[in-house]
């Protein structure tokens, strides 16, 4: 019986290998034109990001409806690869005082139209004062990338910002501790166990089979494009994880953020550090999180302006706050969550 099962399993694996090989070869040759003209959820993912010396970045000149969870939302980037929309600056705004907003997927604004993200709201506020907010946020960025992206953006635009806002995510500590590494030549690589970006790009871009499975998954009632990422913020709540790599992540993140302090010293710009919670923090009543206390002290010691974006998320009962301010089943902000953080920015620092 066991030998028969092994024989069947071997036959299945052989068929699968032959099918995927044929899929890959045909897609790269006979059907290459068809591949270039695909327009589906997988395309919206694979074309949204490109490789960069700091691992990845947003692709320029994108205009699609992207899936995130069960949400389809408009996604546009400008010629520089910055997310754009109403109020976002363009070529004609490069002479205006510039504000850089850098961060990860929250700052990119996953699942929400640009105009409803906190950066989009900042951009509209700034435009009324003849200033320009440039959105440098990208999915899965972290401090090891932030200072590199800031310098690259300034070089691309041929401008130096008057202000820089760093939106420091809880997952940034995880990423700097265990996900990213700088190679000898300064390029950023993911640790082998975390190369989801490279694997996802390759599979969806090279095999029609995986694209079909991806799109079928999204069409199912329980399907979702949003992975469960809650573990990435658990370091702030779990002493064991804090001892394992959380403390190291805080130290590495501080070293990388110190490079942005140096940049602002060089450019004579004002630096503002903003922190905000994930749903697990809200549910756990983690109002005075180490993410708040640690970075407030860091900011005070360096003369950096600090915004405690945790505070407004604890003004309502946890279940109401999570249901209202976060995308259902996800860690990212809903449009109301983005608005709440934007209003806290206005209250705390006035904004521009």
Report if residue 212 sits inside a domain.
Answer: no
Same domain, 117 and 266: yes
344 belongs to a structural domain = yes
Same domain, 90 and 8: no
Task: Note the pLDDT of residue 222.
Answer: 47
Please count the other Cβ atoms lying within 10 Å of the Cβ belonging to residue 63. 9
In this predicted model, what pLDDT tens digit does every residue of 85-102 receive, in sequence order?
999 999 999 999 999 999
Is 198 a domain residue? Answer: no
27 shares a domain with 119: no
| pLDDT reading at 221 higher than 80 | no
For residues 137 and 200, the answer to whether their CB atoms sit within 8 Å is: no
118-127, 175-184, 224-233, 313-322: range with lowest mean pLDDT: 224-233
Residue 48, in any domain of the structure: no
237-275 CB burial, b ≥16 within 10 A, e <16? beeebbeebbbbbbebbbebbeebbebbeebebbbbbbb
Instruction: With cut-offs at 50, 70 and 90, classify the pLDDT of residue 32.
Output: low
Residue 215 scores a pLDDT above 80: no
| Contact residues for 104 (Cβ-Cβ < 8 A; gap 6+) | 137, 138, 139, 140, 141, 142, 167, 169, 171, 172, 175
Is the residue at 54 inside a domain?
Answer: no
Mean pLDDT across 328-347: 96
Question: With contact defined as beta carbons under 8 Å apart, do 223 and 217 qualify?
Answer: yes
For residues 2-19, average pLDDT: 58
Q: What is the pLDDT of residue 248?
A: 97
Q: Are residues 15 and 150 in the same domain?
A: no
Residue 238 has pLDDT above 80, yes or no: yes
What mean pLDDT do residues 293-301 have? 98
* pTM as predicted: 0.84
Token pair, residue 210, equals 């995986």
Main-chain dihedrals φ then ψ at residue 17, nearest 5 degrees: -65, -45
Q: 152: which 2 tokens?
A: 């690259």
**pLDDT surpasses 70 at 279:** yes
d(CA 227, CA 67): 12
The pLDDT of residue 66: 87
Categorise residue 90: left if φ over 0, alpha if ψ from -120 to 50, beta otherwise: beta
- Asked if 83 and 143 sit in the same domain, the reply is yes
Q: Same domain, yes or no, for 27 and 156? A: no
**Residue 87 falls within a domain, yes or no?**
yes
Same domain, 11 and 107: no
Mean pLDDT, the chain, integer: 86
32 and 72 belong to one structural domain: no
What domain range includes position 24?
A: 1-37
User: Do the domain assignments include residue 180?
Assistant: yes
CATH number at residue 273: 3.40.50.1110
Q: How confident is residue 14, by pLDDT bands cut at 50, 70 and 90?
A: low
Judge if 24 and 69 occupy the same domain. no
Say which residue the tokens 């300034």 belong to: 154
Please indicate, yes or no, whether residues 11 and 153 belong to a single structural domain of this protein: no
Structural domains counted in the chain: 2
Q: Is 47 a domain residue?
A: no
Average pLDDT value for residue range 57-65: 93
CA distance 150 to 144: 11
Same domain, 174 and 252: yes
Asked whether residue 7 falls in the same domain as residue 118, the answer is no
């Amino acid at each position: 019986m066991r030998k028969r099962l092994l024989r069947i399993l071997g036959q299945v694996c052989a068929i699968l290998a032959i099918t995927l090989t044929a899929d890959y070869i045909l897609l790269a040759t006979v059907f290459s034109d068809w591949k270039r003209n695909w327009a589906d959820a997988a395309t919206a993912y694979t074309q949204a990001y490109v490789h960069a010396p700091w691992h990845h970045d947003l692709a320029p000149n994108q205009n699609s409806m992207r899936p995130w969870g069960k949400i389809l939302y408009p996604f546009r980037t400008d010629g520089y690869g910055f997310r754009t929309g109403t109020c976002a600056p363009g070529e004609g705004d490069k002479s205006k005082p510039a504000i850089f907003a850098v961060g990860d997927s929250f700052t990119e604004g996953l699942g929400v139209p640009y105009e409803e993200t906190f950066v989009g709201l900042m951009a509209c506020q700034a435009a009324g004062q003849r200033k320009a907010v440039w959105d440098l946020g990208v999915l899965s960025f972290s401090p090891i990338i932030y200072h590199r992206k800031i310098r690259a953006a300034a070089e691309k635009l041929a401008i130096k910002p008057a202000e820089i806002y760093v939106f420091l995510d809880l997952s940034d500590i995880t990423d700097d501790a265990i996900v990213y590494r700088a190679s000898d030549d300064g390029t950023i690589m993911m640790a082998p166990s975390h190369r989801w970006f490279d694997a996802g790009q390759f599979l969806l871009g090279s095999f029609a089979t995986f694209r079909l499975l991806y799109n079928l998954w999204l069409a199912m009632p329980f399907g979702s494009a949003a992975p469960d990422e809650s573990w990435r913020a658990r370091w702030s709540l779990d002493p064991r994880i804090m001892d394992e790599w959380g403390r190291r992540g805080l130290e590495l993140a501080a070293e990388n953020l110190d490079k942005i302090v140096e940049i602002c010293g060089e450019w004579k710009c004002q630096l503002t550090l903003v922190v905000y919670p994930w749903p697990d923090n809200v549910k756990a009543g983690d109002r005075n999180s180490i993410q708040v206390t640690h970075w407030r002290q860091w900011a005070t010691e360096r003369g950096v302006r600090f915004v405690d974006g945790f505070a407004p998320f604890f003004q309502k009962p946890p279940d109401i706050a999570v249901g209202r301010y976060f995308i259902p089943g996800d860690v990212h902000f809903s449009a109301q969550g983005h608005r709440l953080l934007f209003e806290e920015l206005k209250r705390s620092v006035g904004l521009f």
